[in-house]
Chain A
Amino acid sequence: MKIKNKYRLIFTLCILTLSSVQPIYSSFIDNSTKINILMPAPFADSTKDLIDQFNKENKGDINIKVIRGPRETESVSDLAISSLLLGNSPFDILMIDITWLPKYAAAGWLAPMDRYISKRDWDSLAVGAKLGNSYKQNLYRWPMTSDMGLLFWRKDLMENPPTTPIELIRIAKNLVEEGKVSYGYVWQGRQYEGLSCVFLEVINGFGGEWINESSEVKLSSKESIQAVSWLKNLIETGITPRAVTNFSENEALQAFKSGEAALMRNWPYAWAELQKESSIVKGKIGVSTMVAVEGEQPTSTLGSWGLSILSSSKNKEVAYEVISYLTSLNSQKELFVNYGYTPTNSQIFNDKKLREAFPVLVELQKALEQTKPRPEIPLYAQVSDVLQRQLSEVFTNDKNIKEAMLKAERNTNQILLSAGESK
């Protein structure tokens, strides 16, 4: 019995020693620089080939490790913020959404990238892709894929997509009345960030603004009221199902994919989804920009994901090397061809071969030229939250439009005032 115990002790000690030596040993032979990137799950999957290739080419020097974050945008932010708050974040690079940038930069989490970027790099970006990467004159992010609101339309049901709000109502209403579709137009009406994106396009389309360049909130303007009334009217006349007030991108896509809707507002990812075999409307889809009243430019809300270096990273130079690889011309081409990610480099949009193979590229370029970012302030999340709540009140609770928008404007002003952003 005693002997048995002795052996057991020796065995345990051996294991313990080995396990403590192993990491030292492995770090001794592998002295490559490790770069950790946090990405939302879909991006982690689609960049896997590119990253494997990079790791193979740079074996012994640089090793990229991708941490597969959650699927949903805001959950990725929660994860990143938790790690940043605790200090000593394990990540070197974050893949960030356009709306997080001012907040993260103001919190001091991001390292400025200006010194890495040459004028040539900057000039290579498409017009819309240049927006939303800076905060207080410093560049904090390099865009990886553009994203902008698009109007998807059914080629088998109409000759041309509607270009004005009135035209959209006329076309959609007719199609519903003729019984060709159950819904005329589906969009994102749930109380969440997507609703703010929808609204930005509509208010701009009516010639109004959410927050103008001199930080004035314009939510109770005539144009804003017209925009809200138009959206509400869509629901009341049945052109848009009442259920839209709980639709996010997925539900809208579901309705459109199953052929139940004639028009849909969504992001470019939907294009790839609609080309799949499971899509009833495959090959019958056109892409256009959001409607605008005559004399006004149509607007696409700018989405876009990019890569930022964390200020806590010990290998910023190497991290930039990784970013420039992942956003290189080749990487962008690969991601566009295989996964439908909208490029940021203007060369790709002008590539004749690609334009022939993917006619949608023309429409994407057009939309990217008309993009508008959401208000670029650290308190954007609050400001957007206020708007979402009031719009949801109007759509689901029959709140008076004027009253709701006045309240949204007042609350937004309070928030801006508290941050010293208002004049």
Chain B
Amino acid sequence: MIILFLLPAGILILLVFGVPLIRYSWLSMHAASVVTGLDNIPNGGANWIRLLNDMRFWKDAWQTVRFASFSVSLEVFLAILIALLLHQKWKGRGILRSISLLPWALPTTVMALGWRWIFNTPYGPIEKIINFMGLNPLNILSNPKLTWLSTVLGDVWKTTPFLALILLAGLQTIPDDLYEAFRLEGGKPFQAFLKISLPLLKPYLFLGVIFRLAQAFGVFDLIQVMTGGGPAGSTESLALYAYLNAMRFLDFGYSATIMLASFILLVCACALSWVLIYQSKNIYRVYNS
């Protein structure tokens, strides 16, 4: 009986996720590009061999992992602080709660264009300040060592509110009695955070991190508008590379292969974050015994 009830949702999920996944897997085993006149010709896994030998793929994979891990960890840290602040009872909290969501509500392309001008050399405000202080220009958007950090900053600014919102919802589910009892037993506020808030927030934290990781792994619009993947390809993400292959190079077989490979990487990253969030204690125990 229960299967019957799950059927509609099951079919929907299959249609939305299953079909594209199967189609991509099929496509990744074919040569399908402008060279083949857009016909699909089976090529026995040549796309995958090409992927394994493609240094640009590995470089982009590393850059995507770097972008995702830096931005998501920074966001988690900031979101916890913001959620705690917005959870306290104080005047004006309601307004601040609404305002804090604004960056998240802005379209990514608009704010990416904004960042591009903020970081612009020599006309952007940041370079103007640096110039005013008498320092050499940083050339943020044309320095491969710095540019990726500016994209992380753009992402953190935009998506921290989303994570903060999820964590705030989590905080509100924790009954006040727990904190009261803890205080009566002589616990300090910071200890209360470590012993009560954080453990009880875990499901929310996990959910938020999974959401954010999935988004960060597929980052496209922010990078496309801010840097276009440059300078020297130092900010190119896997999604951007897959897009270039499909839309610019008209090589759909290889583009599908890149997308699938980045999907596999994402699953690994999600599994890793599950281990970090839920199993950290067990690991610690096993390691110390």
Contact = CB atoms under 8 A, between A and B. Distances in A.
Interface stretch (B79-87, B97-105, B151-159, B227-235): B227-235
Interface stretch (A103-111, A154-162, A203-211, A318-326): A103-111
A322 to B, nearest CB: 27
A83 B13 CA distance: 26
A254 B142 contact: no
Contact of B35 (A190, A242, A244, A418): A418
A378 B248 CA distance: 11
Interface string B102-135: 0000000000000000001111000000000000
A81 B34 CA distance: 12
Contacts of A420: 35
Contacts of A378: 34-35, 250
A218 B139 CA distance: 32
A385 interface: yes
A262 interface: no
A2 to B, nearest CB: 34
B228 A190 contact: yes
Given A246-B141, A396-B143, A191 B38 contact: no
Contacts, number: 97
Contact of A381 (B144, B229, B232, B248): B248
Contact of B123 (A108, A254, A399): A254
A33 to B, nearest CB: 29
Contact of B139 (A78, A108, A242, A392): A242
A402 interface: no
A379 B142 contact: no
A190 B235 CA distance: 13
Contacts of B141: 246
B34 A385 contact: no
Main secondary structure on B side of the interface with A: loop
A417 to B, nearest CB: 11
A82 B143 CA distance: 33
A363 interface: no
A382 interface: yes
Contacts of B247: 77-78, 81-82
A200 B154 CA distance: 34
B175 interface: no
Contacts of A273: none
Interface residues of A, number: 37
Nearest to A399: B232
B94 interface: no
Interface in B196-230: 228-230
A249 to B, nearest CB: 14
A349 B250 CA distance: 38
Contact of B137 (A107, A242, A251, A397): A242
B38 A246 contact: no
A245 interface: yes
Interface residues of B, number: 26
Given A245-B139, A382-B249, A397-B231, A108 B244 contact: no
B232 A191 contact: yes
Contacts of A192: 228, 230
Contact of B34 (A106, A254, A393, A397): A106
A239 to B, nearest CB: 15
Interface in B136-178: 137, 139, 141-144
A108 B39 CA distance: 11
A242 B142 contact: yes
A251 B124 CA distance: 12
B231 A107 contact: no
Nearest to B119: A246
Interface string A104-123: 00111000000000000000
B34 A246 contact: no
Interface in B53-78: none
A289 to B, nearest CB: 27
A190 B230 contact: yes
Nearest to B116: A246
A56 B195 CA distance: 77
B122 A243 contact: yes
B37 A246 contact: no
A68 interface: no
A133 B199 CA distance: 66
Given A108-B38, A396-B144, A397-B231, A381 B122 contact: no
A419 interface: yes
Interface string A272-299: 0000000000000000000000000000
Interface string A214-254: 00000000000000000000000000011111100001001
Interface string A377-401: 0110110010011001101110100
Interface of A: 74, 77-78, 81-82, 103, 106-108, 189-192, 241-246, 251, 254, 378-379, 381-382, 385, 388-389, 392-393, 395-397, 399, 418-420
Interface of B: 34-35, 37-38, 120-123, 137, 139, 141-144, 228-234, 244, 247-250
18 contacts: A77-B248, A81-B247, A81-B250, A103-B34, A191-B229, A191-B230, A191-B231, A241-B121, A242-B139, A243-B120, A243-B121, A245-B139, A246-B230, A381-B248, A389-B232, A393-B232, A396-B232, A420-B35
Given A192-B230, A243-B121, 20 more contacts: A77-B247, A81-B250, A82-B247, A103-B34, A103-B250, A106-B34, A106-B37, A107-B37, A108-B38, A241-B121, A243-B122, A245-B142, A379-B35, A381-B244, A392-B230, A392-B232, A392-B233, A395-B142, A396-B230, A397-B232
- The 10 A-B pairs at the shortest CB distance, nearest first, are namely A191-B230, A243-B121, A245-B142, A396-B231, A246-B142, A393-B232, A392-B232, A246-B141, A381-B248, A397-B232
